[in-house]
Chains A and B, each alone.
Chain A
Amino acid sequence: MPRSQRRAVSRRLCAVAVFPLLALAACNSNNPTTTSSAIKIGILSDCQGDFGSFYNDDLGGALAVLAAHYGGKASGSKPSDGMTGAKIAGKDINIVGFGCSDSTAAKAIEETRRLVEQLGADIMIGPLSGDEGIAVANYAKTQPNKTFLNGISGAQDATLKVQAPNFFRFNPDGAQWSSGLGDYAYNKLGWRTAAVIGDDYAFPYTSLAGFIAEFCSIGGSIPNSNRIWPPLGTTDYSSFVTQIPKNIDGLFVGVGGAGLITFLKQYQQLNGPLNTKHIMGNTFWPDPQLLKAIGTPMVGAVAASGIAGDASFSQTTAYKNELAIYPATQADAASVFTLGYWSAMTALGQALTAVNGDLSNGQKALQTALATTVVQGPYGKISLDSNRQAVFDNWIVQITAPPSGSNVPGIKTVLRVPKVDQTFGGFFSPTTPAPSRTDPTCTKKTPPPWVGNETPVDFSTGNVPY
Chain B
Amino acid sequence: MSAARPATSAIASVTSRRIRITQLVALGALILFLAGAPSVVDSFTLAQILTKALWLGIAAASLIFLSSYGGMISLGQTGIYAVAGFTMANLVHAAGGKHLGWDPLAATAAGIVVATLFGVLCGAIAARSYGIYFLMITLAISVIVFYFFAQVTTLSGYGGIRSVTMPGFIGNPITNPVPLYYTALLASFFVYVGIRYLARTPFGLALQGIRDDPARMQALGYNVALHRALAFGVGAFIASIAGILSVWYTTQISPGGINVAQTINILIIAVIGGLYRLEGAWIGALVFSTIDNYSRVWMPNVGDWLGPARFESVIGVIFLVIVLASPGGLVGIWESLWDRRKRRLGPVEPSGVPATGAVDEIVDHPAAV
Residues of A at under 8 Å CB distance from B? 1, 3-5, 7-21, 23-24, 26-27, 30, 47-49, 52, 55, 76, 78, 80-81, 97-100, 102-106, 109-111, 113-114, 117-119, 130-131, 134-135, 138-139, 142, 155, 157, 161, 200-202, 231-232, 434, 436-437
Contact = CB atoms under 8 A, between A and B. Distances in A.
A12 B334 contact: yes
Contacts of B23: 10-11, 13-14
A88 B257 CA distance: 38
B256 A19 contact: no
Contact of A4 (B252, B293, B352): B352
B250 interface: yes
Interface in B252-305: 252, 254, 256-257, 277-280, 282-283, 286-287, 290, 293-294, 296-298, 301
Given A13-B279, A15-B283, A135 B252 contact: yes
B250 A15 contact: no
Given A80-B308, A100-B311, A24 B41 contact: yes
Interface in B133-170: 147, 150-151, 153, 157-160, 162-163
B257 A138 contact: no
A106 B349 contact: no
Interface stretch (B46-54, B73-81, B109-117): B46-54
Contacts of B256: 49, 102-106, 131
Contact of B48 (A8, A110, A157, A201): A110
Interface string B1-44: 00000000000000010011011001101100110000011111
Contacts of B151: 200, 231
Count chain B CB atoms within 10 A of each CB in A78, A100, A119 and give the residue with the most. Answer: A100
Nearest to B289: A23
A436 B159 CA distance: 10
The interface size bin for chain B is: 35 or more
B183 interface: no
Nearest to B277: A12
B302 to A, nearest CB: 11
B158 A117 contact: no
Contacts of B277: 12
Nearest to A82: B301
A27 B301 contact: no
15 contacts: A12-B277, A16-B282, A17-B27, A19-B287, A19-B330, A21-B29, A23-B49, A24-B41, A81-B301, A106-B256, A117-B42, A134-B162, A138-B162, A142-B172, A231-B150
Given A4-B350, A8-B357, A12-B331, A114 B338 contact: no
B325 interface: no
Contacts of A106: 250, 252, 254, 256-257
A14 B290 contact: no
Contact of B286 (A3, A19, A102, A434): A19
B47 A113 contact: yes
A135 B162 contact: yes
Given A80-B308, A131-B159, 9 more contacts: A10-B27, A15-B279, A17-B30, A27-B49, A27-B294, A78-B301, A100-B309, A105-B256, A117-B44
A45 to B, nearest CB: 10
B104 interface: no
A48 B159 contact: no
B297 A80 contact: no
A27 B309 CA distance: 19
A139 B309 CA distance: 23
A111 B52 CA distance: 13
Nearest to B354: A5
B33 A130 contact: no
Contacts of B45: 24, 27, 118
B175 interface: yes
A49 B158 CA distance: 14
Count chain A CB atoms within 10 A of each CB in B163, B256, B282, B331 and give the residue with the most. Answer: B256
Interface string B327-369: 0001100110010000000000111110111000000000000
A23 B296 CA distance: 15
A81 B277 CA distance: 41
Interface of B: 16, 19-20, 22-23, 26-27, 29-30, 33-34, 40-45, 47-50, 95-96, 147, 150-151, 153, 157-160, 162-163, 172, 174-175, 196, 200, 250-252, 254, 256-257, 277-280, 282-283, 286-287, 290, 293-294, 296-298, 301, 307-309, 311-312, 330-331, 334-335, 338, 349-353, 355-357
A26 B279 contact: no
Contact of B353 (A5, A15, A139, A155): A5
Given A13-B27, A113-B48, A437 B153 contact: yes
Contact of B351 (A4, A20, A118, A131): A4
Contacts of A19: 283, 286-287, 330
Contacts of A99: 296
B286 A20 contact: yes
Contact of B334 (A15, A20, A49, A98): A15
A161 B96 CA distance: 13
A5 B280 CA distance: 16
B187 to A, nearest CB: 16
A436 B334 contact: no
A48 B314 CA distance: 14
B44 A114 contact: yes
A13 B95 CA distance: 41
B16 to A, nearest CB: 8
B344 to A, nearest CB: 15
A437 B128 CA distance: 41
Contact of A26 (B48, B175, B254, B290): B290
Contact of B175 (A9, A13, A142, A161): A142
A23 B282 contact: no
Contact of A105 (B43, B147, B252): B252
Nearest to A2: B353
B43 A117 contact: yes
Contacts of A47: 308-309
Contacts of B294: 26-27, 30
A138 B256 CA distance: 18
B22 A8 contact: no
Contacts of A52: 309
Contacts of A436: 153, 157
Contacts of A76: 301
B90 to A, nearest CB: 15
A245 B338 CA distance: 72
B164 to A, nearest CB: 11
A142 B334 contact: no
A105 B160 contact: yes
A131 B160 contact: yes
B173 to A, nearest CB: 10
B30 to A, nearest CB: 4
Given A4-B353, A15-B279, A105 B335 contact: no
A76 B150 CA distance: 40
Nearest to B31: A17
A444 to B, nearest CB: 26
Given A11-B335, A52-B309, A105-B250, A113 B283 contact: no
Given A104-B256, A110-B48, A13 B26 contact: yes
